[in-house]
Structures are given as structure tokens and as C-alpha cells.
Amino acid sequence: MKVLLVGNGAREHVMGEALAKTAEVYCVMGANNPGLVALAAGHATGKTTNPEFVLKKAKEWGVDYCVVGPEAPLGEGVTDVLEENGILCASPSKAAAQIELDKSFCRELMEKHACRGRAVYKVFDNGDDAAEFIEVYDKPVAVKPLGLTGGKGVKVVADVPGQLKTLEAAKKYAKKVIEDGIGGGARVIIEEKLEGEEFTIQAFVDGEYVVPTPAVQDHKFAYDGDKGPFTGGMGSYSNAGMLLPFMKQEDYDQAVDVLRDVVAALKAENTPYKGVMYGQFMLTGEGPKVVEINARFGDPEAMNVLPVLKTPYCEVCEAINEGELVSIPLEFEPKATVCKYIVPKGYPQKPESGKKVRITGKPKSRMYYASVDKKKDGIHMSSSRALAFVGIGDTIEEAEAVAAKDLSLVKGRVQYRKDIGTPELIQKRIRHMNELREAVRVINRPITK
Ligand code: AMP
Ligand code: GLY
């Protein structure tokens, strides 16, 4: 099989690695990813969001089908143009990808079809109305631009640097989103602030059938202890098996049911979804609620799931294309994973871009390239996430130790989160979840005389 992979981050590096086990991989990249260049049978750099360019390369290479990593090419119709020209894509159409590309589309669809896991929200095209709603609602909220902001446009009411300290700050930010057109449009979503532990479930979908992969927890905040501004994700972990340490089986099952609801809703609207659906959930004391649905693998979360996928990823993509996911059993190695990102100092607000990064030794974990440029004199970072290290072990603690050891081999003007996957942080998550569940249990306890 010849597979075309679109994209050039660490997510695409791990996708390429998984495909290359049983297929010939061809890459269209926005910038040269040294990891993909090394494994690809052919590669080209250019605009990954230009459907004509992607189609030209796909035809030149005679690929059997295509997989798209990031969301932006979906929004520009890359999958639609390829399919119109007879090249199947194990990724969603532009219409189905609206589930990620337009936050109001996602929420309105879920409401119309009574999908489970919904949070309270309202959409505004006027800053004053949004501010008035926040005033009357009088509880902590999340303020969300409607379009894509790389996870960096959303802010929540929280007393930490980089977030909205007060409801007043939330009102101001809601107005700013409209005035400055943050996220492309001139609308803003005000959503109830969900309290809990966040987790991701990524599922393969063939239009109808939903096959979930192990739950993963990403770390959005830039600094240790969940402090600082939001980022694209600083690292993530998964456990051996499908659940995270703070989760119950019913939490996982309920989240998968939400994804099934969304897939059924998209089918009912005549925009069937195929590819990977990424559900980001907040596990509240009352169960999982949707934070976001994305139309692709997560970055970093793809790096937790694909390295332990035993079933050839290429076969999964073929089954997606044939609408036959039901017929292939999905198997995972019973291993825990911890992924940690190396980013340039100052990331995400004032990254020192263009600095060199060196690795002084042989890493034991898997290393994936993200936003780097391999020049004659070494590897240069950009302003974004640079390298990811993924430790694999029987337990999260073991996997963390593998990744942590390798991080000490990295030299350069870099920073990373030390706490991701450590026993202390995992215990904190478990305690937090226990407290939230206990609070709900107390509220719901019947009054006895
Ligand atoms: P997003 O870009 O929509 O994925 O949001 C970025 C981050 O904002 C999420 O990973 C959450 O940590 C946080 N967030 C988004 N929506 C909410 C919400 N309703 N309640 C609490 N936190 C949220
Ligand atoms: N890790 C968050 C995302 O990929 O959207």
C-alpha cells in the first residue's frame, strides 16, 4: 500500500512511523520534519492547505489513499478534492470537520440531537451582550473564540497567571475577542466553567462505527503545577489498559457514548464522519462533559496511543475507508506511556525562536520531531513545540522515568514540564477527583430524619 500523509508535526511523525510498519509512506509537509523525511518513500514541502498541490503529489506518487494529520487542511477542502479525484481519505470531509472548525456548529449539533455530555453555553456576536450574560450568570465561565486558535484563544476564570482572574476580566476578554476578531470570526462562546479532571479519548470512526483507544491526559498549562498560559499541550500520559488512574470504567464508557452520539448526529445530518474523532472531556463529579471535539488525532495524544497500537494502523485506515471498522479487532499493548515536550525558552508567549537544540546521548524513549529545522549545523527550534520524548513502561511511573532520563540529554535554550506523569501529580489528580465525587455524593444524599 502507498499512503499519503499530510502534515509535519510530531503527531504526523508518529502517524508516519505507525503507517510505515506495513505501508510505503509519502509525505506532503509544510516544513521538513527530519523524522518523516527519514522514513518516507517520497516527500515534498509546500502548502499542506492547498488541495491542488496535495492532489498533484498524490497523483504523482500514485498513492492508494491519504491520511491528514492537522485540522487546517481539512478546513481548506483537501480531503474533498482528493476524494472527488478518486483518492480515498481516512480523514473527515470539510463538512464533517466543522465539528472542530466551528465551535458553535459542534454545540448546536449536539443540542439539536440531544447528545449526552453537553455543558451550558451561549454564542454572542456582540461584546456587550456577552458581558451582560457573564454578569447575570455570575459563575465562573470559559470564554472561547469560535474558530481555530491553536488552543491558545480560550481563557477560563481562574486565579492563575495567564487566565481570567475575575468575572470582570472575563467580560473584558469576551469584548476583546469580538473587537479584535480573535479566532477568525466576530463571535464568542461563553460556556460554564467545568470543574474536574480533563481527559482525551480518540476513536476511529468509519461513518457509523466508533472504536475507541486508551484515554489520555494532556497538560495544557505551560508550567509545572498547571500554572501559566495555555499551550498546544506540554505532554501527556496513558495507563496500561484503557482507563486513567482517576477514572472509572463508567466514566470511560460514558465518554465513548458521547462520541457515538456525535457520530450518529453527523450521519443524520448527511455529513458522515470518518477518520479519528478526538473527544476532549472534563470528568466532573457528575461524569464526563465535552470541552471540545476535534477532527483529528491530538498532539501530543497521538504519541500515547499509536506506539502501543498492535493492530497495523494501515489496516485500521483501510477499514475506515471501506466502512468496515466493525470487522477488525483493535488491540493495544498493555503498556503505560508518558510523553513530554521540549519547547523553546519563553514558550508560548515570548519564545526564543531559531535557537539550536542538541541531544547528548542515545535516548531510550521514542523521540518525535515537531517544529524544528534540520540544518547543516544542527537542529534549530522555531517558536513552537520542538521535540517530544515518549517513555513506555509497565506503569506510568516507569514510563515517566524513561522519558525524564532522556530529557536530561537535551541541551539548548529549552524548557519542559518536569511534573507530567510523576506519582505526585497523578496522586493529586486522584485526590481532586475523589473530592469532586464526594461533593456530589453529599449533595445527592437523601435527607433522613
Ligand atoms: P480548547 O482550545 O477549547 O480545547 O480549550 C483549551 C483549554 O481550555 C481546555 O483544554 C481546557 O483546559 C480549558 N477549557 C475549555 N473549555 C472549558 C470549560 N468549559 N471549562 C473549563 N475549562 C475549559
Ligand atoms: N492536545 C490538544 C489537541 O491536540 O487539540
Which pLDDT score is estimated for 396? Answer: 98
Name the closest-CA residue to atom 18, ligand 1: 193
CA of residue 369 to ligand 1 center, whole Å:
26
Both 326 and 255 in one domain: the answer is yes
CA distance 444 to 214: 31
CA distance 95 to 349: 33
Asked, for residue 98, whether it belongs to a domain, the answer is no
CA of residue 142 to ligand 1 center, whole Å:
7
Ligand closest to 147 (CA) is 1
CB atoms within 10 A of CB 276: 28
Q: Is 197 in the pocket of ligand 2 (CB under 6 A)?
A: no
137-181 tens-digit pLDDT: 999 999 999 877 766 688 999 988 778 999 999 999 999 999 998
Cell of 66: 491519504
Both 417 and 311 in one domain: the answer is yes
Position 387 confidence tier, pLDDT thresholds 50, 70, 90: very high
Which pLDDT score is estimated for 79? Answer: 98
Both 137 and 250 in one domain: the answer is no
Cell of 97: 470537520
Asked, for residue 105, whether it belongs to a domain, the answer is no
Asked, for residue 325, whether it belongs to a domain, the answer is yes
Asked, for residue 445, whether it belongs to a domain, the answer is no
β pairing state of 336-344 and 217-218:
unpaired
Q: Which amino acid is at 97?
A: A
Both 179 and 213 in one domain: the answer is no
Q: Is 233 in the pocket of ligand 2 (CB under 6 A)?
A: yes
Which pLDDT score is estimated for 25? Answer: 98
- Sequence-separated (6 or more) residues with CB below 8 Å from residue 35: 13, 16, 17, 367, 368, 369
Q: Is 299 in the pocket of ligand 2 (CB under 6 A)?
A: yes
Name the closest-CA residue to atom 2, ligand 1: 151
Cell of 37: 523525511
* CATH code assigned at 340: 3.30.470.20
Name the closest-CA residue to atom 3, ligand 2: 298
Cell of 85: 479525484
Q: Tell me the sheet residues that pair with 286.
A: none
221-261 tens-digit pLDDT: 999 999 888 888 999 999 999 999 999 999 999 999 999 99
CA of residue 377 to ligand 2 center, whole Å:
31
Which pLDDT score is estimated for 441? Answer: 84
What pTM did the predictor assign? 0.95
Cell of 441: 455524593
CA distance 369 to 9: 7
Cα–Cα distances in angstroms (integers) from residue 408 to residues 173, 340, 400, 403, in the given order: 39, 12, 13, 9
12-45 tens-digit pLDDT: 999 999 999 999 999 999 999 999 999 999 999 9
SS3 440: helix
Asked, for residue 446, whether it belongs to a domain, the answer is no
Name the closest-CA residue to atom 4, ligand 2: 298
Which pLDDT score is estimated for 449? Answer: 64
Cα–Cα distances in angstroms (integers) from residue 206 to residues 235, 295, 320, in the given order: 28, 13, 4
Asked, for residue 382, whether it belongs to a domain, the answer is yes
Chain mean pLDDT for the chain? 95
Both 202 and 188 in one domain: the answer is no
CB atoms within 10 A of CB 224: 17
CA of residue 218 to ligand 2 center, whole Å:
8
CA distance 203 to 256: 8
Taking the CA of residue 218 as reference, the ligand 2 atom at the shortest distance is 1
Percent of the chain with pLDDT over 90: 89
98-116 tens-digit pLDDT: 999 998 999 999 999 999 9
Both 156 and 280 in one domain: the answer is no
CA distance 303 to 366: 9
Asked, for residue 346, whether it belongs to a domain, the answer is yes
The number of helices, as runs of H, and strands, as runs of E, in the chain is 14, 25
CA of residue 141 to ligand 2 center, whole Å:
21
CA angle 147, 284, 109 (to 5 degrees): 40
160, 192, 224 — which closes off a domain?
192
Cell of 175: 469584548
Cα four-point dihedral sign 75, 80, 85, 90: positive
192, 216, 245 — which closes off a domain?
192
Domains identified in the chain, total number? 3
Q: Tell me the sheet residues that pair with 301.
A: none
Taking the CA of residue 289 as reference, the ligand 1 atom at the shortest distance is 19
CA distance 231 to 221: 6
pLDDT at 60 over 90: yes
Both 285 and 413 in one domain: the answer is yes
Cα–Cα distances in angstroms (integers) from residue 200 to residues 101, 116, 394, 427, in the given order: 18, 16, 21, 19
Which domain, by its residues, includes 304?
A: 197-424
Which pLDDT score is estimated for 447? Answer: 76
Which pLDDT score is estimated for 150? Answer: 64
Both 125 and 184 in one domain: the answer is yes
* CATH code assigned at 164: 3.30.1490.20
Mean pLDDT of 361-382: 92
Both 178 and 280 in one domain: the answer is no
Both 263 and 217 in one domain: the answer is yes
CA distance 57 to 64: 12
Cα–Cα nearest to 386, from 413, 406, 404, 424: 413
Position 122 confidence tier, pLDDT thresholds 50, 70, 90: very high
Pocket of ligand 1 (CB under 6 A): 119, 142, 144, 151, 154, 156, 191, 193-194, 198, 220, 230, 280, 282, 291-292
pLDDT at 418 over 70: yes
Q: Is 198 in the pocket of ligand 2 (CB under 6 A)?
A: no
SS3 354: coil
172 half-sphere exposure, CB direction, 13 A CA radius: 8
CA of residue 15 to ligand 1 center, whole Å:
25
Mean pLDDT of 174-201: 92
Query: Which of 65-74, 120-129, 180-189 has the least mean pLDDT?
Result: 180-189
Which pLDDT score is estimated for 428? Answer: 97
Cα–Cα nearest to 67, from 31, 14, 114: 14
Which pLDDT score is estimated for 151? Answer: 60
Residue 5 burial (10 A CB sphere; 0-12, 13-18, 19+): buried
Both 149 and 52 in one domain: the answer is no
Which pLDDT score is estimated for 80? Answer: 98
pLDDT at 72 over 90: yes
Substitution site in 200, 201, 281 for ligand 2 pocket (most atoms within 8 Å of beta carbon) = 200
175, 192, 209 — which closes off a domain?
192
Which pLDDT score is estimated for 152? Answer: 65
Both 335 and 367 in one domain: the answer is yes
CA distance 299 to 69: 9
Asked, for residue 403, whether it belongs to a domain, the answer is yes
